[in-house]
Structure 1
Amino acid sequence: MEVRHGIQSWVLLLMATALSVRIPELPPAGVGDTLPTDLRTSQQRIAEITEMIHVASLLHDDVLDDADKRRGICSLNAVMGNKLAVLAGDFLLSRACVSLASLKNTEVVTLIATVVENLVTGETMQLTTASKQRFSMDYYMQKTYNKTASLISNSCKSIAILAGHTAEVAMLAFEYGKNLGLAFQLIDDVLDFTGTSASLGKGSLSDIRHGIITAPILFAMEEFPELHAVVDQGFKNPANVDIALGFLGKSSGIQRTKELAMKHANLAAQVIESLPESDDANVIRSRQALIDLTQRVLTRNK
């Protein structure tokens, strides 16, 4: 599960401009001090750090899932082996930490460190889920936040903090990233059932074949309780995959997942509309782009 590579950078750079209501002077860098003197440069560094953490998480995720494809291309672990793939991910994380430390902002360092903690927590939740928890939408959404939305939400908040905004504005930035990330992942859940293997990262039906229960199946189980027994048995038997898909097709699981994604996308758009007013043309354009992005997340097909 992930937000598509590159989108984070666009969101963060747009957020940086969207929040350009008041840009304070950063203190000048001293001898040996690597703190960027330009606010935009430091915010761009957050975008770079976010991408490094994101790619590292994908490399590790592919090893854990034993995936041989990533967006239709051979995964690194399939080409170079698990050990090198893990080391590559570790290297990216280490470079992200070095770059993060150079910003010399304790609050931002704490936020991004929390992201890494959330990524590990989310993966652990997915790997060690007890039966009762697997049937909980609340548990699933928490796992989804940890694995997908934490990175973009905390990075958006970091952009606001670096610009010296109030706690209220920083929280609005956080909420935008959180809801955008959740909407994105919910649509990813849908596409795993409705998309094609050529357009999806690990191929259609990847999640269910790995025993990962996502929103469409959770909603289907609410309508057809007998699906619980199939989920409990697991999906190593292809027949169980077919049975689950049969129940899903009869249910409103796909539609309800789309509706939940729309709810979070609309919440993200409302956050942007709640930001302090500005008559700056660049700020207005960036905010509109962030709002437009919430709808594009809903209509994408890959």
Structure 2
Amino acid sequence: MVVAEVPKLASAAEYFFKMGVEGKRFRPTVILLMASALNVNISKPAPEGVVDMFSTELRTRLQSIAEITEMIHVASLLHDDVLDDADTRRGIGSLNLVMGNKISVLAGDFLLSRACITLASLKNTEVVSLIATAVEHLVTGETMQMSSSAEQRRSMDYYLQKTYYKTASLISNSCKSIALLTGQTAEVAMLAYEYGKNLGLAFQLIDDVLDFTGTSSSLGKGSLSDIRHGIVTAPILYAMEEFPELQSVVDRGLDNPHNVDLALEYLGKSHGIQRTRELAAKHASLASAAIDSFPENNDEDVQRSRRALIELTHRVINRTK
């Protein structure tokens, strides 16, 4: 789907996909499993000799949601790397380092435009609205991170709202879109949304933990990346609750290496890492509960996909990279 008339733009847009740097196709995996969990088997074609145009068209539409989601996600990575002046992405040179900021921004814009064209072809206004809202949330979350006041930076509610916008909105609204396209009830669509929302929050909370506990080789980015960029995440917020004096350290600015060292010292004495893991586990449990609340269905493929979605929640909170 990533085809451009200008070779340089095509090369830039395909860069992360070809290098496998955009991740482990986590979002498309969740979305396609969600389709199967709602009794639409994307991978199983109609029996030989049977032409089911409705089923074939539906599978194509659901696959399109997975592709749209991944293109939007990769576009956000390209833009984020420019904003963060990043040199690497999962162990290789970032596109902005390799080809420059301008082409990186344009490649991200191109991916968004391709996602929009595919989205429009679905001819479902509610799904278009959901995905457009997720894109709006990506921008809002990034802006919240860049322009937060001292008081907002100390707020767990503000942090979780920003995290939902930046990480969880896209996957939650994509899961809800799958439910709508398969003709599910509003209740089931909301359960699909809740699964994606809580899975996304759990994923980011563990990411925030790994920024302190992981290594640059496993994370594909420098350890302590967030705090060195002045970004306050859940482990530090929890540490502030135990050691209020940490607030003044953060307020003085984490662009100062001495303040970063002090913040890490307080974090080490606190239960910030443990409490963040516990919060991630809570959201993972809420995601699992949403799947368990789906209407009963004894189909083997449906049951297998539902088990896989629940297993994903365990993998998210136990991952080390």
Q: Smaller-chain TM-score range?
A: over 0.9
Match of 2:314 among 282, 295, 300: 295
Cα displacement string for residues 20-51 of structure 1 (whole angstroms, at most 9, x for unaligned residues): 1799xxxxxxxxxxx99521110010000000
The answer as to 2:187 corresponding to 1:185 is no
Change (3 A) 1:36 1:90: farther
Instruction: Describe the SS at the equivalent of 1:38.
Output: helix
Change (3 A) 1:92 1:140: same
Distance 1:69 1:21 in 2: 38
Distance 1:198 1:137 in 2: 29
The answer as to 2:35 corresponding to 1:16 is yes
Aligned residue pairs total 289
Is the Cα–Cα contact under 8 Å of residues 21 and 276 in structure 1 kept in the other structure? no
Match of 1:132 among 119, 143, 151: 151
Deviation at 1:202, TM superposition (A): 2.4
Task: Within 5 Å, give how 1:54-65 maps onto structure 2.
Answer: 54-65=73-84
Structure 2: gaps of 5 or more residues = 1-21, 43-53
Distance 2:147 2:219 in 1: 25
Is the Cα–Cα contact under 8 Å of residues 5 and 51 in structure 1 kept in the other structure? no
Structure 1: gaps of 5 or more residues = 24-34
Deviation at 1:5, TM superposition (A): 4.6
Deviation at 1:201, TM superposition (A): 3.6
Distance 1:229 1:290 in 2: 42
Larger relative contact order (CA 8 Å, sep ≥ 6): 1
Match of 1:173 among 180, 183, 192: 192
Is the Cα–Cα contact under 8 Å of residues 17 and 282 in structure 1 kept in the other structure? yes
Q: Which residue is 1:119 aligned to?
A: 138
Distance 1:96 1:13 in 2: 17
The answer as to 2:295 corresponding to 1:276 is yes
What letter matches 2:112 in structure 1?
A: L
Distance 1:75 1:288 in 2: 36
Stretch moving more, 67-76 or 173-182: 67-76
Distance 2:192 2:178 in 1: 8
What letter matches 2:29 in structure 1?
A: W
What letter matches 1:146 in structure 2?
A: Y
Stretch moving more, 150-159 or 192-201: 192-201
Instruction: Describe the SS at the equivalent of 2:219.
Output: coil
Is the Cα–Cα contact under 8 Å of residues 40 and 182 in structure 2 kept in the other structure? no
Deviation at 1:233, TM superposition (A): 1.4
Change (3 A) 1:12 1:199: same
What letter matches 2:248 in structure 1?
A: A
Distance 1:258 1:161 in 2: 32
Q: Which residue is 2:243 aligned to?
A: 224
Name the % identity: 75
Distance 1:271 1:204 in 2: 34
Distance 1:209 1:256 in 2: 21
- The TM-score, its normalising length taken from structure 2, stands at 0.88
Taking only aligned residues, the RMSD between alpha carbons, in angstroms, comes to 1.6
Distance 2:73 2:24 in 1: 8
The answer as to 2:75 corresponding to 1:53 is no
Change (3 A) 1:104 1:236: same
Displacement over 4 Å in runs of 4+: none
Q: Which residue is 1:256 aligned to?
A: 275
Is the Cα–Cα contact under 8 Å of residues 145 and 231 in structure 2 kept in the other structure? yes
Q: Which residue is 2:92 aligned to?
A: 73
Distance 2:123 2:229 in 1: 41
Is the Cα–Cα contact under 8 Å of residues 36 and 42 in structure 1 kept in the other structure? no
Deviation at 1:200, TM superposition (A): 1.3
Distance 2:197 2:215 in 1: 27
Change (3 A) 1:37 1:21: closer
Distance 1:57 1:233 in 2: 30
Distance 1:64 1:5 in 2: 23
Distance 1:201 1:126 in 2: 21
Is the Cα–Cα contact under 8 Å of residues 208 and 234 in structure 2 kept in the other structure? yes
Task: Within 5 Å, give how 1:151-170 maps onto structure 2.
Answer: 151-170=170-189
Stretch moving more, 201-210 or 7-16: 201-210
Deviation at 1:99, TM superposition (A): 0.4
Change (3 A) 1:4 1:182: farther
